[in-house]
């Protein structure tokens, strides 16, 4: 009996996506638009952090935001109230964005006048980490209530991001969260990872995070 032929479809999908991501990155670079792919699990404080970032940088650069969710437009509506250009992306049940979806979002947002765009990815620690969106840099948020074991459970996202933002740092006294342990676990997975400790509620740590964004946007656009 002949053996069954196995076709590596998953590999082909990723290869095609990576080529599209590279094309989008080149387009963004030529347009001098820095795109940050922001990932996290639901409830970590992505949108609240985005609002803090906007508060710190909106007087220095032109910012746009793409909010990705399976449904609703509540996050884009919150961002739009700041006066920032914002659109909502519905994924049709998909748990992540890929480069093709991101390109559609970029085309609809319009980036000719934008220096910095934030892509708030679908809330998920698994699927978004697997797909290159064409972003200039990748970031993730880990909130204190989620626990310090997430680098052990979901290593890929920690391995692939440029920065980790530990949010809700103001809640440390109320949760069994070992800050030193999570830093060590993340750094072991990704020695180059840059870590920020912030509170979207109080604003703590966002000066430092805004400083990193300011530097990266300037380097990308020059």
What digits encode the pLDDT tens for the residues 168-221?
A: 999 999 999 999 999 999 999 999 999 999 999 999 999 999 999 999 999 998
In a domain, residue 61? The reply is yes
Predicted local distance difference test score (pLDDT) of residue 96? 79
In a domain, residue 31? The reply is yes
pLDDT reading at 39 higher than 60? yes
Question: For residues 70 and 141, what is the distance between their CA atoms, to the nearest angstrom?
Answer: 19
Tell me the residue range of the domain where 69 lies.
9-221
Predicted local distance difference test score (pLDDT) of residue 5? 43
pLDDT in tens, 110-162: 999 999 999 999 889 998 999 999 999 999 999 999 999 999 999 999 999 99
Taking residues 65-89, what's their average pLDDT? 88
pLDDT in tens, 100-110: 989 999 999 99
Average of per-residue pLDDT values in the chain: 92
Predicted local distance difference test score (pLDDT) of residue 15? 80
Tokens, residue 166 = 């530990």
If you search the block for the tokens 């220096």, which residue do you land on? 115
- The residues that bridge with 133 in the sheet, in sequence order, are none
In a domain, residue 3? The reply is no
In a domain, residue 4? The reply is no
* CB neighbour list of residue 146: distance below 8 Å, 6 or more residues apart: 41, 44
In a domain, residue 71? The reply is yes
Query: Domain containing 207 — which CATH number?
Result: 3.40.50.300
Predicted local distance difference test score (pLDDT) of residue 66? 93
* Edge-to-edge order in the sheet of strand 163-167: 85-90, 63-69, 116-120, 34-40, 137-143, 163-167, 194-197
Question: For residues 2 and 158, what is the distance between their CA atoms, to the nearest angstrom?
Answer: 42
Predicted local distance difference test score (pLDDT) of residue 110? 94
Say if residues 32 and 220 touch (Cβ distance below 8 Å): yes
Tokens, residue 52 = 């803090």
Predicted local distance difference test score (pLDDT) of residue 9? 41
pLDDT reading at 70 higher than 80? no
pTM of the predicted model, to two decimals? 0.92
In a domain, residue 177? The reply is yes
In a domain, residue 216? The reply is yes
Ranges 4-18, 25-39, 154-168: which has the least confidence:
4-18
Domains identified in the chain, total number: 1
Taking residues 50-76, what's their average pLDDT? 91
Tokens, residue 13 = 């999908």
Percent residues over pLDDT 70 in the chain: 94
In a domain, residue 32? The reply is yes
């Amino acid at each position: 009996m002949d053996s069954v032929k196995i076709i590596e479809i998953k590999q082909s999908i990723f290869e095609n996506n990576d080529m599209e991501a590279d094309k989008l990155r080149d387009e963004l670079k030529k347009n001098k638009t820095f795109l940050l792919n922001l990932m996290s699990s639901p409830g970590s404080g992505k949108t609240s952090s985005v609002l803090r970032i906007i508060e710190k940088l909106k007087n220095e650069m032109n910012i746009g935001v793409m909010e990705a969710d399976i449904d609703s437009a509540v996050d884009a509506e919150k961002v739009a109230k700041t006066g920032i250009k914002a659109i909502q992306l519905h994924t049709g049940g998909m748990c992540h964005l890929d480069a093709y979806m991101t390109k559609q979002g970029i085309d609809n947002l319009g980036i000719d006048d934008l220096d910095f765009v934030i892509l708030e990815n679908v809330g998920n620690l698994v699927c978004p980490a697997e797909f290159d969106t064409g972003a200039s840099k990748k970031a993730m948020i880990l909130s204190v209530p989620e626990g310090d074991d997430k680098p052990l459970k979901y290593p890929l996202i920690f391995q692939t991001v440029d920065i980790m933002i530990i949010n809700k740092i103001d809640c440390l006294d109320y949760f069994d969260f070992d800050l030193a342990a999570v830093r060590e676990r993340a750094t072991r997975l990704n020695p180059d990872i840059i870590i920020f400790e912030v509170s979207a509620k109080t604003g703590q740590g966002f000066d430092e995070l805004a400083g990193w964004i300011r530097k990266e946007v300037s380097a990308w656009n020059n």
